[in-house]
Amino acid sequence: MERILDRFLRYVSVDTQSDPGSETQPSSARQLDLLRMLCRELNDMGVEATIDEYGYVMGSIPSNCGDRVPAVGFIAHADTSPDASGAGVKPQIIENYDGEDILLNSETGMKLKTADFPELKEYAGQTLITTDGTTLLGADDKAGIAEIMDAVQYIMEHPEFRHGPVKIGFTPDEEIGRGVVKFDVERFGAKYAYTMDGGAVGELEYENFNAAAATVRIQGRNIHPGYAKGKMLNAILIGMEMNSLLPVEQRPEFTEGYEGFFHIVSFSGTVEEAAFSYIIRDHDMVLFERKKKILQECADFINRKYGEGTATVEIHHQYYNMKKEVEPHYHIIEKAVKAMEAEGIRPKVQPIRGGTDGANLSFMGLPCPNIFAGGHNFHGKLEYVPLESMEKASKVILNIISQFAEESQNKA
């Protein structure tokens, strides 16, 4: 079998950043480079797999233990976050990690510091894959892809491994909230599925944020600064003023657990006009709707102060909390727990402080909780993943598949 590390390094070498400003599907053509590669690799392993016009790769492994076993799917996304460059990734492999600070880049002095990330010490003695401090790594979610492909290879090379129908899905554009907009659940053919898109080893999630994206546009009035008194409206300053009206304690850096937030993710502007982009998150639907209302109330205040039309707000839905769609099928959570425990992993069932393709898929009729892929510090230059976590995730996939097969055989 090909080593999971070699797969992962091959996948992160492909630049697959999604583009939130694009209206195409996928949002960037470069994602297709990896998605087509994955389709070829599945076919080469003997898996019937296709890629459609939207970039969705779907593979299918037929049951080798009868037709009573429900089809179970495993899904990961190919795109990386627009928050940091994914081009020219140069992974660093640190074997037998010593538990101390890790120098990522000697030119800039960038380090992974245990003082900032104390969880690093938990991986002493393991093999860590880090960035070189100039790009993200892409473990979100190419670790998940490598884990699924590793499990698939095992299944195809071990005909004695008993399994029901297994479905494989790779998607584009998850990072910009459009990962499964055109995903054909019926064609995929799974009754249940899991996204391999979580963080540290042991994470298991079936609750996620309700999510929206918002754009605030400020219309200013530019006047020569020498004659601006009583006339100029500086869009940059007005936008900053509006941002200051939002509750400080509800920023990401001050929240945890089930607490939601307003997160300003980008700003561009001149004196004449400015635009601020936000994401809005909350697990509780009532609080989520209240947050959207607060943003509009801030814009209303600005308009009363500076004139109607100074501030406009556009809010776009991204995904909802999948809890109510997954909980009626709680046995799929129990199977994941047992699959982890079989590998000596302590399951950490917790809410996602984010979202996955599984959130929207659950509302599309495919219950789809989220399992750890092993990475840390996603979306930035400090991203890393322990090799041992990826190896364990691949075994968890196989254990889940085995449980579905064994349960159906016992019922028969």
Catalytic residue among 174, 207, 282, 357: 174
CATH superfamily of 4-207+321-411: Zn peptidases (3.40.630.10)
pLDDT digits (tens, 9 = 90+) for 214-267: 999 999 999 999 999 999 999 999 999 999 999 999 999 999 999 999 999 999
Same CATH topology for 4-207+321-411 and 210-319? no
Residue 354's pLDDT is what? 81
Residue 412's pLDDT is what? 56
Catalytic residue among 79, 147, 197, 357: 79
pLDDT digits (tens, 9 = 90+) for 88-112: 999 999 999 999 999 999 999 999 9
- pLDDT band of residue 356 (cuts 50, 70, 90) is confident
What separation, in Å, do the N-terminal and C-terminal C-alpha atoms of the chain show? 33
Lookup: tokens for 385: 């993943």
Which residue, among 381, 387, 390, 380, has the nearest Cα to 94 in the 3D structure?
A: 387
> For 345-358, b where at least 16 C-beta lie within 10 A, e where not — what string?
bebeebebbbbbbb
Quote the CA–CA distance of 32 and 53 in Å, as a whole number: 10
Q: Within 10 A of 262 (CB to CB), how many other CB atoms are there? A: 23
Q: Helix (H, G, I), strand (E, B), or coil: what is residue 180?
A: coil
Per the annotation, the verdict on 174 as an active-site residue is yes
Q: What is the mean pLDDT of the chain?
A: 96
- pLDDT band of residue 318 (cuts 50, 70, 90) is confident
Asked whether residue 126 carries a pLDDT value surpassing 90, the answer given is yes
Instruction: Classify domain 210-319 at the CATH class level.
Output: alpha beta
Q: What is the residue extent of each domain of the chain?
A: 4-207+321-411, 210-319
- pLDDT band of residue 69 (cuts 50, 70, 90) is very high
Which residue, among 157, 18, 21, 119, has the nearest Cα to 375 in the 3D structure?
A: 119
The percentage of the chain sitting over the pLDDT mark of 70, rounded to a whole number, equals 99
